[in-house]
Amino acid sequence: MQALHNKKILLGISGGIASYKSAILARRLIDVGADVRVVMTQGAQAFIKPLTFQALTGNPVHTDLLDPAAEAAMGHIELARWADIILIAPASANLMARLSHGFADDLLTTLCIASDAPILLAPAMNRLMWSNEATKHNSETLISRGITLLGPDEGEQACGETGAGRMLEPEDIRDLVIKFANSKSITQLANPNSTKLSARAQDNPAANQPSAYADHHASLAGLHFVITAGPTVEPIDPVRYITNRSSGKMGFALAEAAVLQQARVTLIAGPVSLPTPNGATRIDVDTAKSMHAAALNAVHGADVFISVAAVADYRVDAISDEKIKKSDEAMTLTLVRNPDILASIAAMPQRPFCVGFAAETQHVEKYARGKLVKKKLDLIAANHVGQPDNPVFGSDSNSLDIYWPEEGHQHIASAPKKQVAAELLDIIAERLANR
């Protein structure tokens, strides 16, 4: 039997040069058994003609919201009810903005509002449009409502620039639609309000990037993750401070991986120079006390808390209002303990699933398991830092040993941090499912 046998796919096409790929996509979907109906925006028709899709699909192409002939039978409602999946490819920045704000001012957006079918978007736009804060916000809003983003890809763009924003190739989109359509967790993946973990399926559509995520498929759809990342800084005077070597890359990789698996992510970041993962909500802090306050506020109702940040254990007792002048004498600073963010959250009566990180230079398992027990954590990820072959801090790669109660252990071999993040999320998904 063909992979999309009897699946009814409403293919929406918005304006953009990538719409030429949609003709190939329509053919590829039909080749695997799908029944395809096409809806085009006015912008799309400026790039490619409806007749092309009518010839490819054998069905009339729908372009107008107020088509007198169709509306005699409430055509837009009938079409919305017909679809098993709504796939919009390309999804322009404008289309995503209108959808995120609930517009229903043309046929395509009206169908999305009027249908309970899952919606998949294949974004396509210039790299600067994709990285724009407005687009990031719109993407986050759409993901939070259960809409799945397929891509975008990176590479050369029609404008001559290179970067993220290319629409995935038609064959890649077809394959992801097949995985989505055959997923046992399709309802869960389309439901942003679900608080239960969906099945850890091999066909998670969030694994849509041609990258390290492709082989990791734990579904965390609808769950709220709060992740801390980066260092904290503890001021000594107006120009000096105490900090550590954390780059924030591991925490940001986890945030990006969780978003790709359709989780809602709040990322609490110390002072780092890293772009916000698309779809994550970012809160910037500086000191351990400000990170503590932000985390306590964010975790109410959250499902998972991952403490990746390298939080300073101590702060200066008395911060000088003026720059301390250099002298020939030794400087003495009195340090006091900072609040333990992870322990505070793990001790809450109604707390999320708590994951800690431990950076150790020796006796890694002993110290990591000690923290696991002392702080009453669900999981801890340990780094063996200071090793020539595993620098960790500032590096793009990492390796982890994961420990959980009842002597649980799993090793994640050295790999790019994005891949390590995906593997760690798989382990978290398994532990959540076994709670």
Three-state DSSP class for 162? strand
The reported pLDDT for the residue numbered 315 is 94
For 91-108, write each residue's pLDDT tens digit: 999 999 999 999 988 899
Selecting among 128, 159, 335, 348, the annotated active-site residue is: 159
- Weakest-pLDDT range from 128-142, 144-158, 164-178: 144-158
Higher pLDDT, 85 or 359: 85
pLDDT band for 139, please (50, 70, 90 cuts): confident
| Helix, strand, or coil (residue 235) | strand
- Residues near 412 by beta carbon (within 8 Å), at least 6 away in sequence: 399, 400, 401, 402, 420, 423, 424
Token readout for 212 is 């390290």
**HEC letters along 370-401:** HHHHHCCCCEEEEEECCECCECCCCCCEEEEE
Most distant pair of Cα atoms in the chain: their distance: 91
Q: What is the mean pLDDT of the chain?
A: 84
| Residue 9 to residue 31: CA distance in whole angstroms | 13
Give the list of residues 6+ apart from residue 166 with CB closer than 8 angstroms, or none: 18, 124, 151, 152, 153, 154, 155, 156, 157
CA distance 309 to 272: 11
Q: How many residues does the chain have?
A: 435
| 144 three-class SS | helix
* pLDDT at residue 219 in the model: 62
For 22, the 3-state DSSP assignment is: helix
Structure tokens at 186: 């399709």
Q: What are phi and psi of 108, to 5 degrees?
A: -65, -50
Q: Which residue in 235, 250, 356 sits closest to 295, CA to CA?
A: 356
Residue 191: predicted pLDDT: 31
Please say whether the beta carbons of 303 and 223 come within 8 A: yes
159 in active site: yes
DSSP lists the bridge partners of residue 47 as none
Question: For residues 291 and 341, is the Cβ–Cβ distance under 8 A?
Answer: yes
Least confident of 222-236, 293-307, 326-340, 345-359: 326-340
pLDDT band at 367; cut points 50, 70, 90: very high
Residue 3 has pLDDT above 70, yes or no: yes
Q: Would you tell me how many other CB atoms lie within 10 Å of the CB of residue 130? A: 23
Residue 387 predicted with pLDDT over 70: no
Q: What is the pLDDT of residues 181-200, one digit of tens each?
A: 875 333 333 333 333 333 32
10 Å Cβ neighbour count for 2? Answer: 12
| Token digits of residue 332 | 């003495």
For Cα atoms 190, 195, 198, give the angle at the middle one, nearest 5 degrees. 60
Report whether 428 contacts 379 (CB < 8 A). yes
Q: Which residue type is seen at 290?
A: S
**Lowest-pLDDT range of 14-23, 162-171, 210-219:** 210-219
Q: Which residues contact 325 (CB under 8 A, 6 or more apart)?
A: none
Q: Name the token pair of 207.
A: 């694994």
* Residue 35, pLDDT above cutoff 50: yes
Q: Domains of the chain (ranges plus CATH)?
A: 8-182 (3.40.50.1950), 224-433 (3.40.50.10300)
Measured distance CA(391)–CA(198) in Å, rounded = 36
Is 60 exceeded by the pLDDT of residue 207?
Answer: no
The reported pLDDT for the residue numbered 260 is: 85
Please state the φ and ψ torsions of residue 150, each to the nearest 5 degrees: -105, 100
- Separation of alpha carbons 212 and 102, rounded Å: 33
Write the pLDDT tens digit of every residue in 66-92: 665 554 444 567 888 899 999 999 999
Contacts for 123 with CB less than 8 Å, ≥ 6 apart? 90, 91, 92, 93, 96, 130, 139, 149, 151, 152, 165, 167
Position 314 scores a pLDDT of 93
Burial class of residue 265 in the structure, from the number of CB atoms within 10 Å of its CB (0-12 exposed, 13-18 middle, 19+ buried): buried
The position carrying tokens 């995985």 is: 179
Q: Cα(146)–Cα(118) distance, rounded to whole angstroms?
A: 8
